[in-house]
Amino acid sequence: MAKTEETIQKKEVQQAERAERTRATRVFTPEVDIIERRDDILVVADMPGVDETSVDVTLEKNVVTIYGKVQPEVPERGRPILVEYGIGDYERTFTLSNEIDREKIKATVKNGTLRLLLPKAEAAKTRKIPVMAEP
């Protein structure tokens, strides 16, 4: 049953990477799907509690970082009687293997899910090479 527990839990970022945090909050690793298509790479990340104003996407060389800031909503009255999940920010960093067209990156957030569309630069796109028959 330990496994069940593990699979429903959010994964907390183990340690501050690169820099220490100034904001005292928990940081979780969002679960992602990464799908590569012919012309682009689609990153879908579950970040409940995040909207379009509170997520930052940065691209530095080939490293993409997504950071979602969560303002916890706590009921005005009462006290917690059952706590199964923690609330905090989200952060995750990816290294991209293909050259990305920085100008055309698109990010949208809907219902707490971030969709990041990274179009490949012309040079990195797969090209179909026609095979000719020898004369």
Nearer to another protein, 20 or 73 (CB): 73
* Footprint on residues 64-103 left by another protein (CB under 8 A): 73-75, 77-85
Tell whether residue 129 is a contact of another protein (CB under 8 A): no
Among residues 17 and 36, whose Cβ is nearest to another protein?
36
Q: Which of 13, 42, 107, 117 binds another protein (CB under 8 A)?
A: 42
Q: Is 56 exposed, middle or buried (0-12, 13-18, 19+ CB in 10 A)?
A: exposed
Task: Establish if 8 lies at the interface with another protein (CB under 8 A).
Answer: yes
CA distance linking residue 79 with residue 40, whole number of Å: 46
Among 85, 96, 43, 48, CA closest to 70: 48
CB neighbour class for 123 (10 Å; exposed up to 12, middle 13-18, buried from 19): exposed
Q: Is 110 in the site for another protein (CB under 8 A)?
A: yes
**Residue tagged 């012919």 (tokens):** 38
From 38, 61, 127, 128, residue interacting with another protein (rule: CB under 8 A): 38
In the list 21, 37, 102, 106, the residue contacting another protein (rule: CB under 8 A) is 37
Least spacing, CB of residue 122 vs another protein, in Å:
19
80: its two tokens: 């917690």
Asked whether the beta carbons of 28 and 88 are under 8 A apart, the reply is yes
**Which residues contact residue 76 at a Cβ distance below 8 angstroms, ignoring those fewer than 6 apart?**
none
Contacting positions for another protein (CB under 8 A):
1, 3-5, 7-10, 31-38, 42, 44, 46-51, 73-75, 77-85, 110-113
